[in-house]
Amino acid sequence: MKEIFEKVEPKEIEARSFEIITEELGDTLLIPGTEPIVKRCIHTSADFDYAANLCFSDGVVEKALEAIKQGACIVTDTQMVKAGINKRELEKYGGEVYCFISDEDVAMTAKEHASTRAAASMEKAMQLDRPLIFAIGNAPTALIKLYELMEERKYYPKLVIGVPVGFVNVVQSKELIMKSENPYIVAKGRKGGSNIAACICNALLYMIDR
């Protein structure tokens, strides 16, 4: 049975995977400095569409790494994104991960304002007195709320990772974020998800050490 498997030590599997991805990308053009992020998204999904659909604002990678080094915290829209982020790595720089979607006060605010819990959880997060990176893998309404806060000059996140997945208002919410002049990493189109949001955070974290 064993002979059907490629012999790779557990700790070497990730490196071997990235080799295969690099090989199969061939001469696909990637924006210099974004390669580790694009490749990790492909690693997480086995979907090479991410080579084409990831969009980066100017200089976003440097700004994001700097923010993390300065102790930025990460706010997620779902517990699943939170579960996927390498919290031990983030803690090295003083950051923490927050997700307010299941909080009772968030549910109440959403109901009062006829809004969504995802949108209300963004407003709760901006009260935190710390620099924040937002990692949105699910809710277009969270992205719309962040855009509104920026437009109204009420709040500017250090970075918006806008990668909700889906079929209703997802594409438009991402286009909106790409209109802002704030740093963003967005997966254009319908694709994305909790796994992609978490893996972009991890890709950034691993770039600091490497």
Q: How far is the CB of 20 from a copy of itself (least distance, A)?
A: 4
Task: Judge whether 176 and 140 are in contact, CB under 8 Å.
Answer: no
Structure tokens at 7: 């012999």
Provide the token pair at 78. Answer: 């779902």
Site string for a copy of itself, 161-200 (x = CB under 8 A): ----xxxxxx-xx-xx------------xxxxxxx--x--
Cβ(198)–Cβ(84) under 8 Å? yes
Phi and psi for 138 in degrees, rounded to 5?
-135, -45
Q: What separation, in Å, do the N-terminal and C-terminal C-alpha atoms of the chain show?
A: 37
Give whichever of 72 and 170 is closer to a copy of itself, judged by the CB atom.
170
Nearer to a copy of itself, 67 or 81 (CB): 81
Residue closer to a copy of itself by CB (options 103, 175) is 175
The single-letter code of the amino acid at 125 is: A
User: In terms of Cα–Cα distance, which of 95, 28, 32, 93 is closest to 59?
Assistant: 32
Which lies closer to a copy of itself via its Cβ, residue 135 or residue 170? 170
Q: Catalytic site residue 113?
A: no
Site string for a copy of itself, 12-51 (x = CB under 8 A): -x--xx--xx---------------------xxxxx----
Compute how many residues bind a copy of itself; rule: CB under 8 A: 43
Among 141, 180, 182, 202, contact with a copy of itself (rule: CB under 8 A): 141
**Closest Cα partner for 74 from 93, 58, 102?**
93
State the Cα torsion 19-24-25-26 to the nearest 10°. 100
Which of 37, 65, 84, 145 is close enough to bind a copy of itself by CB under 8 A? 84
Catalytic residue among 39, 40, 43, 158: 43
Structural tokens at position 164? 């909700």
CA distance 19 to 168: 36
Q: Which of 40, 82, 145, 158 binds a copy of itself (CB under 8 A)?
A: 82
Residues at the site binding a copy of itself, with contacts judged by CB under 8 A: 1, 4-6, 8, 10, 13, 16-17, 20-21, 43-47, 78-80, 82-84, 116, 141, 144, 165-170, 172-173, 175-176, 189-195, 198
Active site residues: 43
